[in-house]
């Protein structure tokens, strides 16, 4: 049977997060809370897509409602599970404290006021085996949906819905055009694009959400541009197999 | 054809002579790009998980229930309804036990299907599976019922909200109850119009219900409200199946719920700053669980 349905008519509303029937019936998850448990696990998981290294230690700085109620919601277990790449629907999430001990990862939870951020937010500091570290701020914004708002000192917007390319570059005319030219040369479709900068002419970053996984070759081409300091590519949660 | 409310869906159902769940599958095909088989298979997995959540919850060892506020209430109700003549009847008493079971599992960090949210995850499994048992239906009917429920929930999400933080409990358990009512009306042979009438009656009955969780946890009053949401859905379904229409159409009820959400104070939207969360007992429980700070 075929019923002609204009799905775009559905997308212009105030609930663009609910396009799929499975946004309403689903996801399958470990309880008790989509925001404090499933969302927390996703923030942890996506952090390891950003800092893609073997992790030796981690610090969690919990803000707002996360700080107030994390024990009752298992937010602590969920965050730890996430950084060990245990998915939000995996019952191993419950045993995160035992598993983190087996894997020899040191961890600590602190309470911290992160300022003007969503009430369900956490600052995660990950330490890698090669003595490097990265700081990530993520929020669980409702219904298990998440937003990474800061990586290191850079403001970003990464929601895990799309694969995301992030550049750090010098704020000069033409950088955005150069990056999009490379992407189009490889037939990559840009879904959304956003630019952040601290000051005019200073450091800036470009966030490009794309439909496909970007090959190493494309990332190298972008890295070779004079103005580009750093390129990072983050798989979507779907590509990472989380949802 | 645009779909933005129940009128659009009923129009398609009438024109194509199909139930709501058929429209839901076609809608999902159109918006996701996945095949009908893949979509039905995925919903089948969700259905099986719901069944499993009920069973696992009922089997939970008392000591494994992580809540500091309640114990094995689902089991108590199951035992009671088998030994006695439950005043609320066999289907409803069972549905309520199922809803409590899923919520006990949820607060114990068990695996559940958020439907539409984790805080309201007991209603749909409870209503659909208890109705299936009473009506002697097969799994495929249960899966179809989930599609009907999903379509109703999508309409609510589009025109109001499914989140307690935005609309209070009416948006979570109220929506779940409306979705479940529509689903079992179709399962029992009711028309799409009747399904939406049942959804309207269910939603009207909890209009204005606030979200006021003790200690901010998805436990009190959430678990028992899931049970009440389930019974509300079954009663709404029975009224409609008896030929009683909803005086106010579904789309207008959703509109009204959204209006109520907009003027609902934030103290009543999942912040635990109002309602039963701030009763002396609610505050004592919060202090016991999280300490005074």
Reported as a single tens digit per residue, the pLDDT across B154-168 is 999 999 999 998 999
Reported as a single tens digit per residue, the pLDDT across A151-181 is 998 889 999 989 999 999 999 899 999 999 9
Reported as a single tens digit per residue, the pLDDT across B98-128 is 999 999 999 999 999 999 999 999 999 999 9
d(CA B75, CA B98): 9
The answer to whether residue B275 scores a pLDDT higher than 60 is yes
B215: confidence class by pLDDT, cuts 50, 70, 90: very high
CATH class entry, domain B6-290:
mainly alpha
Tell me the H-state helices in A51-189. Answer: 64-73, 75-83, 96-102, 175-185
Of A239, A227, A237, nearest in space to A182 by CA: A227
The answer to whether residue B244 scores a pLDDT higher than 90 is yes
d(CA A47, CA A151): 9
Reported as a single tens digit per residue, the pLDDT across A85-129 is 999 999 999 999 999 999 999 999 999 999 999 889 999 999 999
Structural domain boundaries in chain B: 6-290
Using DSSP, state whether B24 is helix, strand or coil. helix
Does domain A163-234 fall under CATH 3.30.70.260? My reply is: yes
Residue A87: closest C-alpha in chain B = B111
Q: What is the pLDDT of residue A11?
A: 43
Point out the least confidently predicted range of A13-27, A73-87, A121-135, A180-194: A13-27
Q: Is A92 on the interface with B (CB under 8 A)?
A: no
Q: What is the pLDDT of residue B189?
A: 98
Q: What is the rounded average pLDDT for all residues in chain A? A: 89
Where does A31-152 sit in CATH, by number? 3.30.1330.90
d(CA B113, CA B44): 12
A16: confidence class by pLDDT, cuts 50, 70, 90: very low
Pairs of CB atoms within 8 A across A/B: 175
A18: confidence class by pLDDT, cuts 50, 70, 90: low
- What angle, 0 to 180 degrees and rounded to 10, lies between the N-to-C axes of helices B175-187 and B20-32? 120
Higher-confidence position of B26 and A6: B26
Contacts of B50 in chain A (CB under 8 A): none
Average pLDDT (B50-65) is: 90
Q: What is the rounded average pLDDT for all residues in chain B? A: 95
d(CA B40, CA B264): 38
Q: Is A199 on the interface with B (CB under 8 A)?
A: no
Chain A residues 27-46 with CB within 8 Å of chain B = 27-34, 37-38
Give the H/E segment covering residue B234: helix B222-241
HSE (side-chain half, CA atoms, 13 Å) at A120: 30
A68: confidence class by pLDDT, cuts 50, 70, 90: confident
The answer to whether residue A67 scores a pLDDT higher than 50 is yes
Smallest CA–CA separation between B94 and chain A, in Å? Answer: 22
Q: What is the pLDDT of residue A143?
A: 79
Using DSSP, state whether A27 is helix, strand or coil. coil
d(CA B71, CA B61): 10
In chain A, CATH 3.30.70.260 covers 163-234
Integer CA distances (angstroms), B293 to A63, A111, A175, B103, in order: 14, 12, 50, 28
The answer to whether residue A15 scores a pLDDT higher than 50 is no
Contacts of A2 in chain B (CB under 8 A): 26
The answer to whether residue A53 scores a pLDDT higher than 90 is yes
The answer to whether residue B62 scores a pLDDT higher than 80 is no
Average pLDDT (A206-230) is: 93
Q: What is the dihedral of CA A2, A6, A7, A9, to 10 degrees?
A: -160
Average pLDDT (A74-78) is: 95
Q: What is the pLDDT of residue A9?
A: 45
In chain A, CATH 3.30.1330.90 covers 31-152
Residues of chain B above pLDDT 70, percent: 99
B140: confidence class by pLDDT, cuts 50, 70, 90: very high
Higher-confidence position of B211 and B292: B211
Question: What b/e readout covers B102-112, taking b as 16+ CB neighbours within 10 angstroms?
Answer: bbbbbbbbbbb
Phi, psi at residue A13, to the nearest 5°?
-85, -170
Reported as a single tens digit per residue, the pLDDT across B83-100 is 999 999 999 999 999 999
The answer to whether residue A12 scores a pLDDT higher than 80 is no
Contacts of A6 in chain B (CB under 8 A): 1-3
Whole-complex ipTM = 0.95
Structure tokens at B238: 């029975």
Integer CA distances (angstroms), A66 to A96, A113, A142, A156, B127, in order: 17, 11, 13, 21, 32
Average pLDDT (B122-139) is: 98
Residue A5: closest C-alpha in chain B = B1
Contacts of B289 in chain A (CB under 8 A): 71-72
């Amino acid at each position: 049977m075929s019923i002609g349905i204009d799905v775009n008519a559905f997308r212009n509303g105030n609930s663009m997060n609910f396009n799929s029937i499975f946004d309403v019936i689903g996801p399958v998850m470990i309880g008790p809370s989509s925001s404090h448990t499933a969302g927390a696990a996703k923030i942890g998981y996506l952090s390891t897509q950003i800092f893609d290294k073997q992790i030796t230690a981690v610090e969690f700085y919990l803000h707002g409602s996360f700080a107030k109620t994390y024990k009752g919601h298992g937010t602590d277990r969920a965050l730890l599970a996430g950084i060990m790449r245990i998915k939000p629907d995996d019952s191993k999430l419950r045993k995160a404290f035992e598993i983190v001990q087996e894997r020899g990862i040191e961890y600590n939870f602190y309470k911290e006021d992160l300022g003007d951020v969503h009430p369900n937010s956490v600052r995660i500091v990950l330490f890698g085996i090669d003595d490097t570290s990265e700081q990530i701020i993520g929020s669980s914004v409702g219904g298990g949906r998440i937003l990474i708002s800061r990586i290191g000192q850079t403001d970003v917007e990464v929601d895990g819905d799309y694969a995301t390319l992030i550049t750090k570059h010098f704020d000069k005319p033409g950088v955005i055009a150069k990056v999009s030219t490379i992407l189009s040369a490889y037939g990559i479709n840009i879904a959304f694009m956003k630019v952040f900068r601290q000051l005019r002419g200073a450091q800036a970053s470009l966030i490009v959400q794309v439909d496909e996984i970007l090959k190493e070759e494309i990332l190298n081409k972008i890295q070779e541009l004079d103005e580009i300091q750093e390129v990072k590519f983050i798989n979507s949660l779907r590509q990472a197999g989380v949802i | 054809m645009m779909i933005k409310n129940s009128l659009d869906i009923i129009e398609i159902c009438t024109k194509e002579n199909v139930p709501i769940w058929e429209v839901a599958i076609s809608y999902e095909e159109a918006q996701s790009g996945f095949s009908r088989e893949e979509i039905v298979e995925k919903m089948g997995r969700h259905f099986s998980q719901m069944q499993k959540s009920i069973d696992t919850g009922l089997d939970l060892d008392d000591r494994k229930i992580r809540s500091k506020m309640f114990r094995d209430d689902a089991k108590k109700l199951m035992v009671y309804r088998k030994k006695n003549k439950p005043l609320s009847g066999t289907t409803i008493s069972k549905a309520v036990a199922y809803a409590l079971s899923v919520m006990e599992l949820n607060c114990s960090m068990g695996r559940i299907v958020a439907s539409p949210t984790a805080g309201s995850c007991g209603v749909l499994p409870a209503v659909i599976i208890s109705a299936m048992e009473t009506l002697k239906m097969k799994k495929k009917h249960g899966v179809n019922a989930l599609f009907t429920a999903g379509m109703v929930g999508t309409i609510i999400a589009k025109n109001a909200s499914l989140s307690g933080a935005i609309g209070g409990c009416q948006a979570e358990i109220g929506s779940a109850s409306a979705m479940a009512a529509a689903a079992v009306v179709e399962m029992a042979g009711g028309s799409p119009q009747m399904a939406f009438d049942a959804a309207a009656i269910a939603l009207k009955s909890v209009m204005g219900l606030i979200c006021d969780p003790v200690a901010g946890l998805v436990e009190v009053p959430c678990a028992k409200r899931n049970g009440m949401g389930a019974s509300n859905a079954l009663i709404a379904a029975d009224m409609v199946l008896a030929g009683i229409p909803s005086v106010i159409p579904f789309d207008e009820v959703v509109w009204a719920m959204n209006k109520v959400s907009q003027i609902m104070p934030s103290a009543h939207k999942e912040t635990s700053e109002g309602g039963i969360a701030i009763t002396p007992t609610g505050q004592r429980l919060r202090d016991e669980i999280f300490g005074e700070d």
